Amino acid sequence: MQIIISITFALIGALTIYMSITDNDIFFSSPLSDFFVKSIGRKGSRFFYGAIGAVLMLMSIFYIL
């Protein structure tokens, strides 16, 4: 069960990092991310979501240990 949760965290983290690097319009124009885009700008929200993706990737690594 731990491996499934860890793989899920890793996939979501990788997707978040990929979307923040490629600056995908579908990801940043969604109503849920609209708050961050309006308050800290598009570049700041890209950095924020990239950091969240990195944290999720680290969580997946540390969850296995």
- Provide the residue-wise pLDDT of the chain in tens; the chain has 65 residues: 889 999 999 999 999 999 999 988 888 888 888 888 899 999 999 999 999 999 999 999 998 88
- DSSP run (H or E) holding 64: helix 34-64
pTM for this model (two decimals)? 0.85
Identity (one letter) of the amino acid at 42? Answer: R
What's the domain range around 16?
A: 2-64
pLDDT of residue 1: 86
Cα separation, 40 vs 46, whole angstroms: 10
Q: Hunting for tokens 């978040």 — which residue is that? A: 16
Tally of domains in the chain? 1
Find the Cα–Cα–Cα–Cα dihedral 31, 28, 6, 58, rounded to 10°: -120
